[in-house]
Chain A
Amino acid sequence: MDLLPQLLIAGVVIGSIYALAALGFVLIYKSSRVINFAHGQIIATGAFIAFALTQSGMNFWLAGLLAMVATFLLGMLIERVFLRRMVGEPIISVIMVTIGLSSVIEGLIHLTPYGAGSFSFTTPAVLAGDGLSVLGTQLSRTQIAGVLAALGLLAGFTYFFNKSTLGITMRAVADDQMAAMSVGTSVERVFALAWAAAGLSAAAAGVILGLMSGLTLGGLAGIGLKVFPVVILGGLDSVVGAIVGGMLIGVLENLSAGYLDGLVPGGGTREVFPFIILIAVLLLRPYGLFGTKEIERV
């Protein structure tokens, strides 16, 4: 058993989920300059909706799809009700609204039976068989499917942004809202769409994560914090950055867990290492690997 390839592969598996979570975050930031602290809670909402549906006897795939539709609508609703009023307000207000939102969603989840416990999906038959071995590491079918699904969704979103009219419209709004408005683009519609798409990708991330490592409110919502190192490393407004950053953070935190845990009393460097990277990136290259250099030095 070699440690290094094992760590690398485990890092890619978790990294693809980080990438998917970061994608939703970047979508919102890119179009509307809103930092969404509630993203982890939206991920949890999607995962629990899917779980509740499978509990009532629904097919896993259908449940996942319905959960994605539900968070799509939820994202749109959040934008319409709360964020639309915050246009032009100071950044601290916008940040605090999403923090308040995360608290509200968490409270609502606690009102359902899923708030406190820990649950797991019944693995669908297709994913239950033997996995395959990569570089001497056993990967379960669930993990492979998770990575493939995440990569597929990421590729789909990238294609959408680069080729479809709607995607190009969203990029136009992200680039210059005034100019986009003056050529007749509905900026409001684009904001709503960005939130909806973020909700969609959040549910996907939640379902994949739930399938791989079980469902707990803390675990799912915690991804919302992991998103910050990812997007800062990749660049806040870059879709490619979200993907690369997600993979990098996933691999790096696994490497730190593998090689540094022994040196620290109590171990658990996995939780803190991404944030140390975050601070280093902020100091050396605040716009990240692929972000726009928009920071003014004071």
Chain B
Amino acid sequence: MPASRFTQTGNYRVRYQQDQTIFATYAEQASLIVGVLLLLALPLLIPKTMLRDVDMIMIFAVAVLGLNVTTGYTGLINIGQAAFMGVGAYATALAATRLNLPFFLAIPLGGLAGALVGTFVGLPSLRLKYLYLAVATLAFQIIFEWTVGHSPLLAQGGAISMPTVQIFGIRDTFLNHNMFWYYIILPVLVAMALLWRNVLRTRHGRSMIAVRDNDRAAAAMGINPGTAKLTAFMIGSFYAGIAGGLFAYFQKAVVIEDYGLHTSVQLLAMAIVGGLGSLPGSFLGPIFIVALDRFMGSASSWLGEKDIFPQGIDVATAMRPLAFGLAIMLFLMFEPRGLANWWRLVRMYFKKWPYKF
């Protein structure tokens, strides 16, 4: 333990047990509690129109957490995370509309369906590495989109509307929709983040990291790389499935366009901009990408009024992919460790203040 449990002045750990603690100081523990309280009060602090984006960010954060397990921690490039989300969303939709299950059972069911399909899709990872695996997940993404588009059971990719939800006597209505789902998504997100943190502390989590860093060395140390990779795919796609289920209820309908290749790329971009393999990055990435998209939307409508571009050009459809692509490229070129690294630097600054290092 540090000499003082209030401020950290150095590393005084002498036992493994101390090394395994999550919080080194009371300050860290308190900041987490304050953070959660702030999150609980957030809908009262921000304008109502922003709440919808906050909900979207939190749903994406769940999916990005999962992507960070496969891609960030195990090094398996996954260009099909949106398809896993879609599997979860469609499973949730079927459970809710056909089996009439309540949402608190339908969403976990979606997560399980995602995990099942994800493990199956992860099977090629036993033989393939790197970009071959990337191409395999890409193929799954395209096959998924096509299959849904051709299944009469899934409305051939058209909208399957979700039932209205009620909990503790409060109904999800048009007026309180964003607020209602905020208070459902928030606990799910916090629980999923805690699960993530703790899975990484287990044997499985550490073997994933070992496999990412060097799978041959990991195998030599008695870790089964195949099991580690499949576990990573299972956990990663479970997160995606949960995110898909939440997204289905939040959007009130499941449409195949929401789970296309573009969304997969967006999720990857969020993971990278946030910083691959970091917990804060899984939140910062979605915030950045969603905010950038909104900003470019309003900026381009402002530009569109200025008559800079000739008539007939939809500035919004041009500026959004442009800014999105540039953001990915600039981050990879100049800050490959993502926003999480800035977060780390800020933390270090306060920890060491008033000294430089």
Chain A interfacial positions (CB closer than 8 Å to B): 35, 82, 85-86, 89, 91-93, 95-97, 99-108, 110-113, 115-116, 225, 228-229, 232, 264-266, 268, 271-272, 275-276, 278-279, 282-283, 286, 295-298
Contacts and interface: CB of A to CB of B under 8 A. Distances in A.
A228 B126 CA distance: 20
Interface residues of B, number: 58
A228 B138 contact: yes
30 contacts: A35-B135, A85-B333, A91-B134, A92-B134, A93-B272, A96-B332, A97-B329, A97-B333, A99-B269, A103-B324, A104-B325, A105-B325, A107-B321, A107-B324, A110-B317, A110-B322, A112-B313, A116-B317, A228-B135, A228-B138, A264-B150, A266-B149, A266-B156, A268-B149, A271-B142, A275-B142, A279-B124, A282-B132, A295-B132, A298-B215
B139 interface: yes
B318 A225 contact: no
Given A99-B268, A279-B136, A295-B128, A115 B143 contact: no
B47 interface: no
Nearest to A91: B130
A278 B136 CA distance: 8
Contacts of A110: 313-314, 317-318, 321-322
A99 B326 contact: no
B333 A82 contact: yes
Contact of B139 (A111, A112, A115, A228): A228
B268 to A, nearest CB: 6
Contact of A297 (B127, B149, B150): B127
B117 interface: no
Nearest to A82: B329
B233 to A, nearest CB: 14
A105 B324 CA distance: 11
B313 A298 contact: no
Contacts of A228: 135, 138-139
Nearest to B312: A113
Nearest to B151: A265
Specify the main secondary structure of chain A where it touches its partner. helix
Chain A to chain B: the 4 pairs with minimum beta-carbon distance, closest first: A107-B322, A103-B325, A100-B328, A110-B318
A106 B135 CA distance: 21
B177 interface: no
A116 B314 contact: yes
A93 B71 CA distance: 11
A48 to B, nearest CB: 14
B83 to A, nearest CB: 12
Given A107-B319, A107-B320, A298-B129, A96 B325 contact: no
B290 to A, nearest CB: 16
Given A96-B269, A278-B135, A282-B135, A107 B318 contact: yes
A282 B136 contact: yes
Contacts of B265: 99, 103
Given A96-B268, A96-B328, A106-B321, 6 more contacts: A92-B71, A100-B269, A110-B318, A110-B322, A228-B135, A275-B139
A100 B77 contact: no
Nearest to B152: A265
A296 to B, nearest CB: 7
Contact of A282 (B128, B219, B309): B128
B110 interface: no
B336 A103 contact: no
A162 B75 CA distance: 37
B43 interface: no
Interface string B199-242: 00000000000000001100100000110010000000000000
A104 B321 contact: yes
B63 to A, nearest CB: 17
A105 to B, nearest CB: 8
B131 interface: yes
B129 A295 contact: yes
A286 B130 CA distance: 12
B132 A286 contact: yes
Nearest to A112: B313
A279 B128 CA distance: 11
Contact of A225 (B129, B132, B142, B310): B142
Contacts of B314: 110, 115-116
A296 B129 contact: yes
B276 interface: yes
B247 to A, nearest CB: 22
B326 A108 contact: no
Contacts of B135: 35, 228, 232, 278, 282
